[in-house]
Amino acid sequence: MKHIFIVNPAAGKGQAATRIVPQIEAYFKAHPELSYEVYTTKAQGDGKTYVENAAKTGEPIRFYACGGDGTLYEVVNGAYKYPNAAVGILPLGSGNDFARIFGKSDKLLDIDAQVNAETRKFDLIDAGGHVAINQCSMGLDAEVCAKQAYFKKLPGVGGEFAYTMSLFYCLFRRLKSDFKIVIDDDKVIEGRMLFALCANSRWYGGGYKGAPKAVPDDGLLDFILVRKTVGRLKLAGLVGKYKRGEHLAWDFTNFVRGKKLQIFSKNPAAVNVDGECEYVTESTFQILPAALDVIMPDIESYTQVIENI
């Protein structure tokens, strides 16, 4: 078994590498019988390429994403096709949304706990050429995600604050899309939508609980469809409730569980795949059940989170 740590030097405002690399090196110096490597990414997409090339060898490898959700996205996309690969998460970014499903366990940053942990099969979302482990969406919240990258560049602005700034910015710009939505090839919902969210896990945007009941290993995806029936000012007043995951009770929200979500838009709309954004007129999100071995350094903490619905 080989242990490869994929370190994003830009994560955590550039502090990820200096924080974790000395711990990694000290641990493996004390355990010379173990094989390890630290790879520092050089550009966007580099992590995915490196992971995939390493996984192709067929050697049993544990890849550890040392960074934020963007780093995890690259590691997952490089590893998921290979049964010899498992993925671990050392949350060192500004948002770390997927890592929230594991609770507040210190074991996520404990090298010994990661190296000796069990694994569990997690579902993924097939987003047409790429996969997501956390959430995909189309509409307003994808617009917010796209704009969030701009606000993150401002001094002192982190993941959650950047998302909130972007959210209020977008609320007073483009606010609705005309969508036709098809769930599991038979249930059709049409009309003016704020956004449609497809979730494998619960949080995004630096702590917004967009899918408060999602479980990443239950063989189902959570679809949250928020229709445009109220004005900007009322929506602005509901942001706090949305962040806390209280929006499933709104009379303009549809919550459905299923395995496939298709979205057709009359005009190009933003689509978000685990933080990667572009503009399209249609998207398909489909479950890949039990598609990835995920390293679980604290199963008890994870179980407490998913049972807290």
pLDDT value, residue 9: 93
pLDDT value, residue 246: 97
| Distance in angstroms (rounded) separating the CA atoms of residues 157 and 244 | 21
Q: What is the per-residue pLDDT across 161-201, written as a single tens digit (0 to 9) for each?
A: 777 777 777 766 666 789 999 999 999 999 999 899 999 99
- Within the chain, residue ranges assigned H as helices are 11-14, 16-30, 46-55, 69-79, 111-115, 140-152, 159-171, 232-237, 239-243, 299-307
Say which residue, 267 or 136, is predicted with more confidence.
136
Query: What CATH number is attached to the domain comprising 163?
Result: 2.60.200.40
Query: Residues 279, 208: one domain?
Result: yes
pLDDT value, residue 263: 97
Query: Residues 285, 299: one domain?
Result: no
Structural domain including 52 reads 2-123+290-307
| Distance in angstroms (rounded) separating the CA atoms of residues 208 and 149 | 16
Query: What CATH number is attached to the domain comprising 41?
Result: 3.40.50.10330
pLDDT value, residue 152: 65
pLDDT value, residue 158: 62
Query: Residues 101, 166: one domain?
Result: no
Query: Residues 25, 151: one domain?
Result: no
Partners of 286 in the β-ladder: 126, 260
- Within 192-231, residue ranges assigned H as helices are none
Return the exposure string of 163-200: e unless at least 16 CB atoms fall within 10 Å of the residue's CB, then b.
bbbbbeebbeeebbbebebbbeeeeebeeebbbbbbbb
Tokens linked to 105: 């366990």
62 phi/psi in degrees, rounded to 5: -105, 120
pTM for the model stands at: 0.92
User: Among 45-54, 108-117, 144-153, 283-292, where is mean pLDDT lowest?
Assistant: 144-153
Query: Residues 279, 136: one domain?
Result: yes
Interval 199-222 mean pLDDT = 95
Whether the pLDDT of residue 40 is over 90: the answer is yes
Whether the pLDDT of residue 159 is over 70: the answer is no
| Distance in angstroms (rounded) separating the CA atoms of residues 154 and 120 | 38
Partners of 2 in the β-ladder: 35, 61
Q: What is the per-residue pLDDT across 246-255, written as a single tens digit (0 to 9) for each?
A: 999 999 999 9
Query: Residues 174, 281: one domain?
Result: yes
Query: Residues 226, 199: one domain?
Result: yes
Query: Residues 275, 255: one domain?
Result: yes
Query: Residues 78, 189: one domain?
Result: no
Say which residue, 105 or 76, is predicted with more confidence.
76
Chain center to CA of 147: 17
Query: Residues 35, 179: one domain?
Result: no
Query: Residues 210, 116: one domain?
Result: no
| CA dihedral angle for residue 187, residue 191, residue 192, residue 193, rounded to 10 degrees | 0
Could you tell me what percentage of the chain is helix, strand and coil, using 3-state DSSP and rounding each to the nearest 5? 35, 35, 30
Helix (H) or strand (E) holding 294, with range, is strand 276-296
Say which residue, 153 or 197, is predicted with more confidence.
197
Q: What is the mean pLDDT of the chain?
A: 92
Say which residue, 79 or 158, is predicted with more confidence.
79
pLDDT value, residue 98: 97
How many folded domains does the chain comprise? 2
Query: Residues 271, 160: one domain?
Result: yes
Tokens linked to 89: 């998460």
